[in-house]
Chains A and B, each alone.
Chain A
Amino acid sequence: MPAAPSGPATSEMIPLTRDLTALRAHAKAMRRHVLRMAEIVGQGYVGQGLGIADVLAAVYFSELRTRPAEPTWPDRDRFVLSIGHYAIGLYAALAEAGIIPVEELSTYGADGSRLEMSAPETTTGVEMTGGSLGHGLTQSVGMALGLRLQGRDARVFNLLSDGECQEGSTWEAALAGAHHQLDHLIALIDCNNQQADGAPSKVMGIEPLHEKWAAFGWHTQRVNGHDFPALLAAFAQIRTTPGKPHAIVVDTLMGRGVKAFEEREKNHFIRVAPEEWSLANRQLEETA
């Protein structure tokens, strides 16, 4: 299990921190990026991008060892996005981390841009093409097996969604992660309680998630995905729990940080009227 970053590579890596003020500032900056991208295309997965910003800030700036100047560094920690349509959130994190240029965010969703609405792995910093749901954990298991076989001191973080827990392949991979004792594999299950056809409880019930992952042999925790101390405590507990893969169920609120969008949380794909963006930007700045 890797300890805090050390060795000659440190200076080239994203500086990691447990300072709550710094992490909140990263999250705020990422939400600004999300709003800018969403405003340019006039619609999109702004709810998911805002909702996952705190979790991504915690991962990218307190846990993930990567080198912005060397995105294919073989010993990097992997962040694998299963849910391709959360790309807007991932691009915000990649820009904030210096892995892709901030200026490029203005091309999000444009014809010919590599910042497609669903993240393709040809884009710097994107480890896997997600979007066909249920793939991320299967590939993450393979990455974790490969990294361990090669003796690389790297971890694999997979962000999947509550809806993705309806895909059988997620549970095939869950079995494999536990069977192969991949304790450097971390599944973050985003529960925003919203999938394409509505709430999972209405579409196809998935709870109790904590008990399910635990029963599949995973060291499981469930935290509020907007509570930085809780997120950091969960990450800390992972480091002291060997022998099992780790699941963190993170409960999040779609649109978090923009009151108008939080109240519209029942939408998987939010449509926003042109005049609403200034209100959204104002609400974001007013949010603590």
Chain B
Amino acid sequence: MTGNILTSDAAGAAKTETAPFGHALVRAGETDTRIVGLTADLGKYTDIHVFADKFPTRFFQMGMAEQSLIGAACGLARTGLVPFATTYCVFATRRAYDFIAIGAALGRANVKIIAGLPGLTTGYGGTHQGIEDLALMRSIPGLTVIDPCDAIETAQATAAIAQHDGPVYMRLLRGVVPVTLEADYKFEIGKARLLVDGADVAFISTGLMTTRALEAARTLAASGVKAAVLHVSTLKPFDRAAVAALLARVPRIVTAENHFITGGLASAVADLAVDERLPIHLKRVGIPDVFCESGSLPYLAERYGLTAAHLVSAAQEVLR
């Protein structure tokens, strides 16, 4: 059980990378000496230990104190540095919300908050599963919010946010991370990517759910259904143009997110459809309005409806 709880989402993945965030941060830090790291007693568990090992004087251990972590990151940013602060989603957003909202966002501090265990990527229960972090972070003016899909995107997004001037909240896929996007994938802050085109139904997905949406699209293709997959890794700012264009062209929509079904990607899509008066048929796939159980990752994905098979069923539903 413990093995399952601590495992990454990489079980069964054909290709993986280890600690893509940590290694990408080292690469960025080699050329940009403004980059510093800090953590709240989770260095080893958020892959920033790779950076700490490489640049020990540029790494600050803040202890088990998330308000202090985010506050110190803001202070470091005010001296011209580019701090990357790591902890888990639940601790960053639940315990340090005011420090992110006021210190980082209202204060326009150039801090990067990197948050592990998004959604159902840990077998621990409600204490550790970050199921509402995207909703909380999307509600903060001026904060950039990113949910990468795989190792490739995690690395690219790390490099991109290091260059970006402004506060960022990024979900972290840590440890052994699957590689599921194509090698030529290009991440850009605020840009959605149409990974597969199709006119019958469209998946709009974020984070690791894009991997499952791609799998669902392949399954549907085998039965003659052409499904598009639009990957929206930046939740905020939301790529309204790309999403609206897809909604106008393919009004049968399934959203897919490793997050509470309200306040995240599905809500952003629904808001946009209302604003743009686009008639769509929307089925939302995400975590229901409950604190989830503890358990193995496959069990949790099945139990709470986040598998590729669930996405296929949802697509079939909107096609009816």
A interface residues with partner B (beta carbon < 8 Å) = 74, 121, 127-129, 132, 134-135, 137-147, 149-150, 152, 168-169, 172-173, 175-176, 179-180
Contact = CB atoms under 8 A, between A and B. Distances in A.
A175 B73 CA distance: 16
Interface in B99-156: 99, 102-103, 106-107
B58 A139 contact: no
B54 to A, nearest CB: 15
Nearest to A137: B71
Nearest to B57: A149
A210 to B, nearest CB: 22
- 10 smallest A-B Cβ distances: which pairs? A142-B75, A138-B71, A146-B79, A142-B72, A172-B68, A172-B65, A139-B75, A169-B67, A143-B75, A142-B76
B81 interface: yes
A121 B67 contact: no
B78 A128 contact: yes
Interface of B: 36, 57-58, 60, 62-63, 65, 67-68, 70-81, 83, 98-99, 102-103, 106-107
B67 A129 contact: no
Given A141-B71, A180-B60, A150 B79 contact: yes
B35 to A, nearest CB: 11
Contacts of A146: 36, 75-81
Contacts of B107: 121, 128-129
Chain A binding surface SS class: helix
Given A149-B57, A180-B60, A139 B65 contact: no
Given A74-B80, A129-B102, A138-B99, A145 B75 contact: yes
Nearest to A120: B106
Given A132-B98, A172-B65, A176-B63, A138 B76 contact: no
Most buried by A among B36, B75, B79: B75
28 contacts: A128-B78, A128-B107, A129-B103, A129-B107, A132-B102, A134-B67, A135-B98, A135-B99, A135-B103, A138-B67, A138-B99, A139-B74, A139-B78, A142-B73, A142-B75, A144-B75, A146-B75, A146-B76, A146-B78, A149-B58, A150-B79, A169-B67, A169-B71, A172-B63, A173-B68, A173-B71, A173-B72, A176-B62
A142 B74 contact: yes
Contacts of B72: 138-139, 141-142, 145, 173, 176
